[in-house]
Amino acid sequence: MADQDAAESSGYGAVLDPDWPKAIDRWEHPGDGSVVFSVPAAPGAPPDVTVVLLHGVGNDGSVFAPIMSSLAPLGTVVAPRLSPDLLTDVGDDRLLTSSKLVDWLGEIAPPPWRIVGHSMGGVMVGLILRTRPDLVTSAVLLNSPLPGIVQRIRDRDRLDRTGRALLFMKTLAAVTRFGRPRLPRFLRGPELAAVRVALRGFVTEPGSLDARVLSRAVLGSRTDDGNEFIRLAEGLPAWQAEPFDDVPVSIVLGDSDPLIPVDDVELIVDSYGSAPIHVVANCGHFAHLEWPRLTVDAISACFATGGRSVT
């Protein structure tokens, strides 16, 4: 494990690229018309490489927007909006669910993929890894519930830290949906303060996050799917931890994440025994927004050293 004290070397919530909003392209998925955010590969990036970013509950691809331009040296970066419909067949037949997701992703980015999954998006990454590892060169899981942890989330005490965080998440969705019609680009005054309060359930220092990140990424990523995704997360099969070493995987966790506590690290080791685990100090559930430099460095290191060719 690493990064317990490395967090002190990077500013909490620091913006890596001041012009990140200008770098983002926005277009429609050819299949279902949902929004896809993307950044073209930077000069000198490996040709024909796509970095796919999968978001978590109640977000869309824009939640990755502040770090997307910083990942462009790795290849073309795409961050689609996932729909709960992509998981409607979740059950014991993981291949059936994976096929729908893989086909949907293939319409916007042909494999092989370098893939990053945050939270619920990490569950989807794990699903792809265990059913179609031939399509992935390497993967990074950010604050992600891994096999076996789903049972704890499902059986949680609604008054424990995880339960309170989920309540905060629902509150955040309600607050941002309230502000969105009047302030589609920026939150100001009471609305911005309300979002910071709502974030306290699962972000370590919401008052230190850049206001543009909250206004343009967190606000912009709110969807009407949040509660539906939460219901899906609670109903996911409690797939047991199982060894997986077919594809290089790296894991980033926050030491103060109420949804994915580091106490569950043994389950993670059981699932990805050879994966480096980066435990970031003073970090909640959104490593890529709270400690973007450490997150980008961890992603870059995994993709630079852990990739493999796929035919």
Answer whether residue 210 is part of any domain: no
Which strands, in side-by-side order, build the sheet including 136-142? 25-28, 35-39, 76-80, 50-54, 113-118, 136-142, 249-254, 277-280
Answer whether residue 111 is part of any domain: yes
Predicted local confidence at residue 28, as pLDDT: 94
Answer whether residue 206 is part of any domain: no
- Alpha-carbon separation of residue 91 from 131, 185, 236, 273 (angstroms): 13, 38, 7, 25
Answer whether residue 72 is part of any domain: yes
CATH number at residue 130: 3.40.50.1820
Answer whether residue 184 is part of any domain: no
pTM for the complete prediction?
0.86
> What sections of 26-76 are H helices per DSSP?
65-71
Answer whether residue 144 is part of any domain: yes
Tally of domains in the chain? 1
The pLDDT averaged over each successive group of 10 residues in the chain (311 residues) is 43 92 93 93 90 88 95 96 72 70 93 92 86 93 74 59 65 57 53 76 87 79 62 59 82 88 74 87 94 95 62 24
Answer whether residue 275 is part of any domain: yes
Q: What domain range is 44 assigned to?
A: 6-162+234-305
